[in-house]
Structure 1
Amino acid sequence: MATSHRVSHTSLAVAAFSTVVEWYDFTLYLYFSTVLARVFFGGGEAALVTTLMGFALAYLMRPVGAAVFGHIGDRHGRRPMLLISMAVMSLAMLLTALLPTYGQVGIAAAWLLFGLRCVMGFSVGGEYTGVIAYLLEGADPRRRGLIASLAAASSEVGALLAVGVAALTVSLTSEAQLASWGWRVPFLVGAALAGGVWFARQSMEESPDWLELHANEALHANPIRHAITRQRSALLRAFAISALGSITFYVGITYVPAFLETTGTLGEERALWLSTAAAVAVILVTPLVGLLADRFGRKPALVVIAVLSAVLPISLFTLMAGGTVNEALAGALVLALVAGGMSAVGAIACGEQFSEESRASGLGLGYTLATAVFGGLTPWMAQLLVERTGAPQVPGIMIAVVAVAALPVFVTMRETAPAHAA
């Protein structure tokens, strides 16, 4: 494909920074899980595990959404794909804010929440991967790593916003107010944010690569089949990249507040503020790693991060569980830096595995299948195993196992950065 046709800086900026919504919502659910356990599941010993299990099961809708939205993106354009997915997300968040509670309708409240989480899981199946495909095709090839890392950083802005709104809500409301109406505020903020992003996306240009395919009548009738039959190795590599990226983020960052509360290291409010510091660390490190991935290549960055993920998390989770507040902060920050680095390089490395004919479908399937397993399921599994074994190092072991499994894939994969590819 020709590299002279690129989208405007405005379109790139809208795409890169609009990932704030997806990560705001899903991060909010995890950071707010102890509150939601009381509001929708009535509290009690099993409520938190049930809340996290609902998150995990709803996450399994992401591959379904990836298949549907990937087809839209490859057949009808990246822009319609991103507009439709954001519209569905806006509606789902607004309806979540309006749900009745367990105290009002009993267990039906939990089922309604779960239903809307499934809708969210479906809609975000085409969100992040659609943005990465768009940025890859619209950015200067020499700066793809940096531009894609801005989308990852924007995701962390969403995470930071989520934890900040959650912490403020908990701080400024009494327990009774929080259970009655306070929990709704963060979801209303998310719905307003999503609506704003939807309007901003109206101004986006279409991907130049997709326009060229369309002009040449080279669009595949079944892009998902093309990805599965013609880009199978790319799917496996994207799965490995996303698996490590997902577990480092969801266990190494968003699960940490619940972990700290479960182990008695910090209370709910202080754990949320600690996560705010971790989110800031990720925002700062992500563009730096994106620049390094452009300068030295994707492969070296992936290998280094995989080694760090194999070596550090076990001791860090042990430190956070038995240490002081400062030690908990240090452990959370280091985990966040590793996860942020993986998000930065993993995004563009996944997208570059696929050719443009079925990029949205292939990227969507490879990325979201791994995220459904190693993102959605792992916070629930980590919480369950910590409770049953009493071993605080279990979440770190989970990260290390995935890192060791992914490392051979990273070592043997070809370099995809344009300046370093063979």
Structure 2
Amino acid sequence: MTDTPNSHRPLPRSSLAIAAFSTIVEWYDFTLYLYFATVLARVFFGPGEASLLVTLGGFAVAYLMRPIGAIFFGHIGDRIGRRHMLLLSVALMTAAMLATALLPTHAQIGAAAGWLLFLLRCIMGFSVGGEYTGVVAYLLEGAPTAKRGLIASLASAASEIGALLAVAISALTVALLDEASLQSWGWRIPFLFGAALAGTVWIARSRMEESPEFHRQKAAGSVPDRPLLHSLTNHRAGIGRAFAISALGSITYYVGITYVPAFLTSAGSLSEKVSLTLSTAAAVVVILVTPFVGALSDRVGRKPVLAGLSLANMLLPITMFSLMASGSHGNALAGALVLAALAGGVSAVGAVATAEQFPGEGRVTGLALGATGATAIFGGLTPFLAQYLVQQTGFAIAPGVMIAAVSLAVLPLFLTMRETAPNISRPKKI
């Protein structure tokens, strides 16, 4: 899709930096929940193998709130402005994380504790729906044209910094506290930190400039009155392509990275401390890989990078999960690092490729329908499904098979889709 030249007036670096690195909060919270899943299972649902499955199930159901929140916040972003959307979403996230840190436990009020946690996860999922899509749209619209891939990929890199913070604080909390202290009050520490982090991001975002693309729409009188209807009427093909790109990005990230600690603890027979330490190394790999892949997509195009990563994800994850299940620390590290590199690459190019499926008008709502819809299914549900399949079948490679299946399904689309990188030459029509 092509926007007018005026919509590509670069934003100040300060606004782009605030937008890119504010995704730390969103991914800190959701990654924290998965990395801390075994601890939260005992705190809110009591002992027993079923508690972990219920905890992951709560994550999956709450994740279904993301598309609803994305449509709500997408309407604000497309009608009122990207900046207003990003301020409101992070304010709601701050309140939800603080409330989570103050919840009573299963030992204090019984089953009601689990229901309260579930309610707050739904609120969190709703608010997060407006985060990543809004940030990616803002970065795409404010970046220099030739550096869209690199700039948009910074949101993915920053997201992993949030994940790194989550795993580091989780690992530190688990390492420093005994089991009794952890279940009594220690589990609250990471959520209190997250609430403070979110509040800081709100303050920083209040200084951001509005997207130049939204200013263009206001000047031209082209701001859609009903963004949802506008997107469904005009951008159905773009929504489908964004869904496919995000399906691969979501399953590689949520099964290939954030589910891995729970997998290593249960199927890999490693301690929570070791599993979280390995995940820290995986997060560093994603941070290093992401800007490289984003810049590569600026140079050679989104299409070949997406196709290459899809092929790699068809071949490697099954072997990696088999390695991690062996119980060997070395094999677990190798598997986790390879999976992290694959997921980081897809996230980097996927950020800009999904946003480029839409023109400026209705872009955030289009992303909400396509990208966030895919994330709800292939992100929120897949850790639960992966754990269920491993427990029911005894096959440690089941999560890898899931990734390979999605990669195979989306590869034909990647091979035939139109290149969207603006600086890549295209064959001239005859």
- Provide the residue aligned with 2:76 in structure 1: 72
Report how far residue 264 of structure 1 moved: 3.8
- Provide the residue aligned with 2:329 in structure 1: 325
1:390 aligned to 2:394? yes
Distance 2:316 2:268 in 1: 22
Report how far residue 364 of structure 1 moved: 1.4
- Provide the residue aligned with 2:24 in structure 1: 20
How big is each residue's C-alpha offset from its partner over 1:235-284, in whole Å with a ceiling of 9 and x where there is no partner?
00000000000000000000001101111431111000000000000000
| Structure 1 residues 28-107: aligned runs within 5 Å | 28-107=32-111
Distance 1:196 1:155 in 2: 16
1:201 aligned to 2:202? no
Distance 1:286 1:389 in 2: 34
Report how far residue 6 of structure 1 moved: 2.2
The answer to whether the Cα contact below 8 Å between 2:268 and 2:327 also exists between their aligned partners in 1 is: no
Q: Secondary structure at the match of 1:224?
A: helix
- Provide the residue aligned with 1:366 in structure 2: 370
- Provide the residue aligned with 1:109 in structure 2: 113
Matched AA of 2:210: E
Report how far residue 374 of structure 1 moved: 0.2
Report how far residue 45 of structure 1 moved: 1.6
**Structure 2 regions of 5+ residues with no counterpart?**
none
The answer to whether the Cα contact below 8 Å between 1:265 and 1:320 also exists between their aligned partners in 2 is: no
Report how far residue 107 of structure 1 moved: 0.5
The answer to whether the Cα contact below 8 Å between 1:226 and 1:358 also exists between their aligned partners in 2 is: yes
Which of 296, 301, 304 is matched with 1:292 structurally?
Answer: 296
| Structure 1 residues 321-360: aligned runs within 5 Å | 321-360=325-364
**Structure 1 regions of 5+ residues with no counterpart?**
none
- Provide the residue aligned with 1:313 in structure 2: 317
1:376 aligned to 2:376? no
The answer to whether the Cα contact below 8 Å between 2:268 and 2:324 also exists between their aligned partners in 1 is: no
Matched AA of 1:321: A
Report how far residue 348 of structure 1 moved: 0.3
Report how far residue 216 of structure 1 moved: 1.7
Which of 121, 137, 141 is matched with 1:137 structurally?
Answer: 141
1:230 aligned to 2:209? no
Q: Secondary structure at the match of 1:416?
A: coil
Matched AA of 2:393: T
How big is each residue's C-alpha offset from its partner over 1:89-112, in whole Å with a ceiling of 9 and x where there is no partner?
000000000000000010000000
Distance 2:220 2:238 in 1: 24
Distance 1:291 1:43 in 2: 47
TM-score of the two chains, using structure 1 as the length reference:
0.99
Distance 1:110 1:402 in 2: 32
- Provide the residue aligned with 2:14 in structure 1: 10
Q: Secondary structure at the match of 1:357?
A: coil
Distance 2:277 2:328 in 1: 15
Distance 2:318 2:9 in 1: 47
How big is each residue's C-alpha offset from its partner over 1:23-45, in whole Å with a ceiling of 9 and x where there is no partner?
00000000000000000001212
Distance 2:96 2:89 in 1: 11
| Structure 1 residues 149-160: aligned runs within 5 Å | 149-160=153-164
Matched AA of 1:352: E
- Provide the residue aligned with 2:416 in structure 1: 412
Distance 1:418 1:60 in 2: 34
Q: Secondary structure at the match of 2:90?
A: helix
Matched AA of 1:150: L
The answer to whether the Cα contact below 8 Å between 2:270 and 2:327 also exists between their aligned partners in 1 is: no
Q: Secondary structure at the match of 1:46?
A: helix
How big is each residue's C-alpha offset from its partner over 1:123-153, in whole Å with a ceiling of 9 and x where there is no partner?
0111000000000000001001000111100
- Provide the residue aligned with 1:213 in structure 2: 217
How big is each residue's C-alpha offset from its partner over 1:218-241, in whole Å with a ceiling of 9 and x where there is no partner?
111111111111110000000000
Matched AA of 2:219: A
TM-score of the two chains, using structure 2 as the length reference:
0.97
| Aligned structure 1 segments of 4 or more residues deviating by more than 4 angstroms | none
Distance 1:269 1:166 in 2: 9
Matched AA of 1:183: W
Identity among equivalent pairs (%): 64
Distance 2:211 2:182 in 1: 44
How big is each residue's C-alpha offset from its partner over 1:340-390, in whole Å with a ceiling of 9 and x where there is no partner?
000000000000000111001001111111000000000000001100100
Report how far residue 323 of structure 1 moved: 4.8
How big is each residue's C-alpha offset from its partner over 1:41-77, in whole Å with a ceiling of 9 and x where there is no partner?
0121200000000000000000000110000000000
- Provide the residue aligned with 2:167 in structure 1: 163
Distance 1:209 1:328 in 2: 45
Cα distance, 1:319–1:142 mapped onto 2, change above 3 Å: same
- Provide the residue aligned with 2:267 in structure 1: 263
Distance 2:400 2:362 in 1: 35
What is the alpha-carbon root mean square deviation over aligned residues?
0.8
Report how far residue 5 of structure 1 moved: 2.2
The answer to whether the Cα contact below 8 Å between 2:9 and 2:144 also exists between their aligned partners in 1 is: no
Distance 2:124 2:244 in 1: 24
The answer to whether the Cα contact below 8 Å between 1:265 and 1:324 also exists between their aligned partners in 2 is: no
The answer to whether the Cα contact below 8 Å between 1:265 and 1:325 also exists between their aligned partners in 2 is: no
